[in-house]
Amino acid sequence: MPQTMPFESGDLVVVVLQSPRERIWGAILGLDASGIAIRGLDLTPWEEVLSLVRTGESDQVALGTRFLPMHRVEAMYLDEASSGAPSLADIFRNRTGQEARGFLLPVQHPRA
């Protein structure tokens, strides 16, 4: 029986990249053998991001849509609670009062 990928468009994930090493948190827009299209942000300034969103300064957050080529992907994890630790989405909601999916994937208007 063929296995299906546990990752789907819209899933919240953490992607660990190599060369240079980065950790990206975001929502999958697309995934195939060439790479991952994701809307998200670098986790390095996580506390600053939470503070900016909490104080209504979301426009200061470096949120973007990126294509991550598969040769740079070291690992990808579903953003889910594990071993009693909350997911990043849970932390985001608890600290900012906003839902992560709504922050990462705002309503899109059709392209012209």
Tell me the per-residue pLDDT of 72-110, one tens digit each, with 9 for 90 and over: 999 999 999 999 999 999 999 999 999 999 999 876 655
Rg (the chain; Cα; Å)? 14
Model confidence over 5-54: pLDDT tens digits? 789 999 999 999 999 999 999 999 999 999 999 999 999 999 999 999 99
pLDDT tens digits for range 62-76: 889 999 999 999 999
Where does the pLDDT of residue 60 fall: very low under 50, low under 70, confident under 90, or very high at 90 and above?
Answer: confident
pLDDT band for 58, please (50, 70, 90 cuts): confident
